[in-house]
Amino acid sequence: MNRNIANSLGLVVLLLIGIGLSLSLGSVSIPIDEVLKILLGISTENSTWEYIIINYRLPKTLTALLIGSGLAISGLLMQTLFRNPLAGPYVLGLSSGASLGVAILLMGAGLFSGIFGEFMFSKWSIILAASLGSILVMLAVLATAQKVKDTMTLLIIGLMVASLTSAVVSVLAYFSNAEELQLYIFWSFGSLGNLAWGEVGLLSLCWCIGLGFALICLKNLNALLLGENYAKSMGVKLNRNRILIILSTSIFAGSATAFAGPIAFVGLAVPHLIRQLVTTNDHKILLPNIIFGGAFLMIICDIIAQLPGSDSTLPINAVTSIFGAPVVIWLLVRKRKLKF
Amino acid sequence: MSSKVKSTPSILTANSLSIGYKDKRETIEIASQINFDIQPGELVALIGINGSGKSTLLKTLSAIIPALTGDVLIDNISISNLQNKDLASKQSLVLTNETVSKQLSVFELVALGRHPYTNWLGHLSQKDLTLVNEAIDQVGLLQNQHKTCDALSDGQFQKVLIARALAQNTPLILMDEPTTHLDMYHKAYVLQLLKSIVKRSQKSILFASHEINLALQLCDKIILIDQGRVTYGTPSELIQKGTFNSLFPKDLIVFDEVSQSFRMKMNTD
């Protein structure tokens, strides 16, 4: 228990350092004491720095925190629900649904550009298309979950939906011109930095709703660690909890994909990284650690993606995997065991 | 056969129960006309060869699948009228072949048995803590209660699952083959443990098992499923009726009434 508290505190400290670095580093380097002054509302001599922090770095850092922790929570929920270490937010086909929505918007543009005109390529239309895509997939999954009693079947169906949608995206890509294809590919790289304050607000709202659903079934998640039959024998209403868990995951993963593009890896990996650290699978202890851990990982990836000191940025989706995957592999090989 | 007259309050009753699987197209009946009546404090073994329907019967008794016809009564209430949560306070399960997370400490896993009684955060009250500690003590794992289940042997982990059911504090515990994967000593140990539990706490335990020889020595009653027919009685009643003689094909093992156990058939030629 004490070890777990120490671990959480350690994670929080790391996270705070990460937040500090993320606000201070970038194409322009801002000293950390100036960052603090700006955050506390003390006026500084350099109003450019103030502008950069308030309108650019702060929303981006918040986005990283929300998306990192949200994806990590949804990964945890899926792994517990499916009692499968390979599960992550993508298994329900949500990000693929969002991708399909955006692909239809950007690459099927010829079909309805006449109707929407200028609106077509605005940021909001992409967010809207991504949300619609993941909501439709979510509804389909929920309907299936009502019918299919077996959770493993649900997992397979999710994977099928994912490969179906990516096939449709390929077909669209094949028939689209280079310019449209480029737009889509840039979206699929993911980006944390394009959000204005209003969008960050909306993302936080989604995050809170997702967390709310997760908290409602927090206790039952522990019962589900023993499998569905045990959970049922302990009085857990399986269907109700399954739907709450799917809703929570969909809101986290759907909103993340809508605002920042499909971000791989975080949802799958963070729960495993945290389990190496925390000695128990008790969700009351796991959940806060996973929130801190997911947020920290995302912040670090974002700092790397910014290539501090330079003007160019790497696609965030590539950074999470390129820098994250070796870490996970190294950890698992060193510990020789997947704790699940 | 068991009498349907209820002289003492029984904890688990099957009334002309028939079990099996049903879907839109067809109904597969596995066993029918099942009648038994388990009293508080009884240890009952459910015996049958592979594929005889032991698991189906256990699933029906634990409301995982519905009965085809007939009724299951727990505490004289029909199981179909019980909500999950009410059922959870009357019967607990010990299952094999579930993908149970072993990344929990012994204490945490046993404490999950208190799940039906705790608040939405799962906070353990003083009473919960007492019951969890008693359960761990009863299976002899107090020394190991802070160990992660990962680090336990199969036999110890089986005891943890039994302790979880004890912590759920129900008058009835159903177990699906609690002795699989255990060596001969630990099989005997676990069954002996079940015997001491029912004696001490007046709980009733019904367990499916292949350990006929051990069950005959230990159990108060036996439910035997053989080719869709269910026989119920004390071990000596069933032996007298010769029920065991026809359980297996006679080429390899035979039931020896003198030693009241199955024996290998010796090749005499």
Query: B-chain residues within 8 Å CB-CB of A222?
Result: 112, 115, 122
Backbone angles phi, psi at A51, to 5 degrees: -60, -45
C-beta atoms surrounding A47 within 10 Å: 10
Q: How far apart are CA B268 and CA B259, in angstroms?
A: 20
Chain A positions touching B118 (Cβ under 8 A) are 219
Contacts of B124 in chain A (CB under 8 A): none
Predicted pLDDT at A17:
94
Cβ(A320)–Cβ(A264) below 8 Å:
yes
> Which domains, ranges and CATH numbers included, belong to chain A?
2-335 (1.10.3470.10)
**What residues in B contact A216, CB-CB < 8 Å?**
120
Residue B115 and residue A232: Cβ atoms within 8 Å? no
- Placement of tokens 């799940």 in the chain: B115
- Which CA distances in Å does B133 have to B108, B126, B137? 11, 11, 6
Query: Which residue in this structure is represented by tokens 């959770």?
Result: A151
Give B221's strand partners: B44
Unique residue bearing structure tokens 């002054």: A37
Mean pLDDT estimate for chain B? 90
Q: How far is A281 from chain B (nearest CA, A)?
A: 5
For B61, nearest residue in chain A (alpha carbons): A233
Amino acid of residue B153: S
Closest CB from A235, A236, A281 relative to B101? A281
What pLDDT is recorded for position A191?
85
* Inter-chain residue contact A219 with B115, CB threshold 8 Å: yes
Q: Quote the pLDDT of residue B135.
A: 96
Of B62, B84, B103, the CB nearest to A235: B84
User: Is the pLDDT at B54 greater than 70, yes or no?
Assistant: yes
Is residue A1 helix, strand or coil? coil
The predicted structure's pLDDT at residue A330: 83
C-alpha span between A133 and A103 (Å, rounded)? 10
Binary contact (A280, B92; C-beta < 8 A)? no
Chain A: give the shortest CA distance to residue B115, in Å: 6
Show the 3-state SS of chain B.
CCCCCCCCCCCEEEEEEEEEEECCCCEEEEEEEEEEEECCCCEEEEEECCCCCHHHHHHHHCCCCCCCEEEEEECCEEHHHCCHHHHHCCEEEECCCCCCCCCCEHHHHHHHHHHHHCCCCCCCCHHHHHHHHHHHHHCCCHHHCCCEHHHCCHHHHHHHHHHHHHHCCCCEEEEECCCCCCCHHHHHHHHHHHHHHHHHHCCEEEEEECCHHHHHHHCCEEEEEECCEEEEECHHHHHHHCHHHHCCCCCCEEEECCCCEEEECCCCC
First to last CA, chain B: 41
- At residue B165 the predicted structure's pLDDT band, cuts being 50, 70 and 90, is very high
**Residue among B176, B212, B211 nearest B95 (CA):** B176
Hey, which bits of chain A come out as E strands? Answer: none
Smallest Cβ–Cβ distance between B98 and the set A216, A230, A280 belongs to A230
Residue whose entry in the numeric block shows the structure tokens 């190991």: B144
Residues in B closer than 8 angstroms to A240, CB to CB, are: none
Of A86, A155, A226, which to mutate for an interface test with B (greatest number of B Cβ within 10 Å)? A226
- What is the model's pLDDT at position A134? 82
Pairs of CB atoms within 8 A across A/B: 82
Strand bridging mode B172-176 / B204-209:
parallel
At B253, the pLDDT band (50, 70, 90 cuts) reads confident
Contacts of A226 in chain B (CB under 8 A): 98, 100-101, 109, 112
Is the distance from CB of B101 to CB of A225 less than 8 angstroms? yes
Single out the residue of A14, A25, A68 nearest to residue A203, CA to CA: A68
pLDDT score for B242:
83
Predicted pLDDT at A112: 58
Contacts of B85 in chain A (CB under 8 A): 235
Contacts of B248-254 spanning 24+ positions with Cβ under 8 A = B248/B49
Residue B269 pLDDT: 57
- A322 and A315 in contact (C-beta within 8 Å)? no
What is the percent of chain B with per-residue pLDDT over 90, rounded to a whole number? Answer: 64
Which residues, 6 or more positions from A307, have their beta carbon under 8 angstroms from its beta carbon?
A313, A314
* Tokens 């990996």 found at: A269
A117 touches chain B (CB under 8 A): no
Measured between beta carbons, which residues in chain B are less than 8 angstroms from residue A219?
115, 118, 120-122
CA A53 to chain B, closest CA, distance in angstroms equals 39
Distances in Å between the Cα of A129 and the Cα atoms of A102, A126, A135, A186, A203 are 5, 5, 10, 15, 16
Cα A211 from Cα B104, distance rounded (Å) = 23
What phi and psi, each to the nearest 5 degrees, are found at residue A287? Answer: -55, -50
- B108 and A280 within 8 Å at the Cβ level: the answer is yes
The answer, for A304 touching chain B at a CB cutoff of 8 Å, is no
Q: Please tell me the predicted confidence (pLDDT) of residue B267.
A: 66
Contact assignment for A280 to B105 by CB distance below 8 Å: yes
CB-based contact A95:A252 (threshold 8 Å): no
Q: Which residue has the tokens 């592999």?
A: A329
Best mutation target, A81, A86, A234, A244, to test chain B (most B CBs within 10 A): A234
Band (B69; pLDDT cuts 50, 70, 90):
very high
Q: What is the pLDDT along chain A (340 residues), one digit of tens a residue?
A: 578 888 899 999 999 999 999 998 887 888 888 888 888 887 777 788 888 888 889 999 999 999 999 999 999 999 998 888 878 887 778 888 888 988 888 887 666 555 555 555 677 788 888 888 888 887 887 788 778 777 778 888 888 888 888 899 899 888 888 888 888 888 888 888 878 898 899 999 999 999 999 999 999 999 999 998 999 999 999 889 988 998 899 889 888 988 888 887 889 889 998 988 888 899 999 999 999 999 999 999 999 988 877 778 888 888 988 877 887 788 778 776 677 7
pLDDT of amino acid B2: 46
